[in-house]
Amino acid sequence: MSDVTTQISASTDALIREFDIIAHNLANVSTVGYKRMCNAFSKSLEAEGTGLQTYSPGTIDLTSAFDFSQGSLVETGRPLDFALYGRGFFVIETLEGPLYTRNGVFFTNQNGQIVDSAGRIVAGTAGPITIPSGVALSELNIRSDGTISAGETVIGQFRLVDFQDDENKLVPAGENCYQMTDPDVTSTTAQNIVVKKGYQEASNVKMIDELVDMIMVARLYEANMKSVTATQEATSSILGVAMA
């Protein structure tokens, strides 16, 4: 296989991966707290204003990263919906270690502990946050720092963490959660973050932008296929001359 064909093949694989990422983003446009994933390829085209006219096969950078920018807050009125405004994550306790999420749609288990949709404990600063049996969910109040109370009684406080410049090292762990696999990175207490009760953070996916990117990727894929066809035709012509 020639170098040109190899480059085109690599670009085609990258474009397929890019298309899959865009499709995944679109599928999660309504997922609470979802953060879109994007490739350096798309970012570079957007930053440089590069059009299809200047694109050449074999130049795609497939490095991907999450866009952790803030999503809009949507009021629901549900007492166990909590939205974060600012940098940081809720902590979910699992047997395999802590997970991190922006999805604050929570519930209570049979013990009155606040859990996520999978029944996993949502970490508090002093352990699980337990709602006393005599306290109605409608009685709960929350301060901006994540402290939950009922009347004058403090029930607990959400553990909220941040990774600062190492945020891009988080990897997906399923169910809209992330984990930190780099042993050299430790979390810090989130600063300048606000917790709002009765709200959900919407996905930061912008449907129109994703659809535009999808069209661009489809056109680049088509350009790659035309390059493959042209290369094959040129090779056939050369072989035909050589064998004449």
pLDDT at 52: 47
pLDDT at 243: 53
Whether residue 232 is predicted with pLDDT greater than 60 in this model: the reply is no
CA angle 207, 213, 214 (to 5 degrees): 85
Asked if 101 and 66 count as a contact pair (C-beta separation under 8 A), the reply is: no
Domain-by-domain residue ranges, the chain?
3-68+204-243, 73-201
Q: Find the range with the poorest average confidence among 42-46, 122-126, 163-167, 191-195.
A: 42-46
Whether residue 42 is predicted with pLDDT greater than 70 in this model: the reply is no
How far apart are the C-alpha atoms of 107 and 80, rounded to whole Å?
6
DSSP 68-96: -PPPPEEE---TTBEEEESS-EEEE--TT
Asked if 191 and 111 count as a contact pair (C-beta separation under 8 A), the reply is: no
pTM of the complete model: 0.80
Bigger pLDDT: 218 vs 142: 142
Residue 74, CA atoms < 13 Å, CB-side half-sphere: 14
Name the pLDDT band for 227 (thresholds 50, 70, 90): low
pLDDT at 180: 96
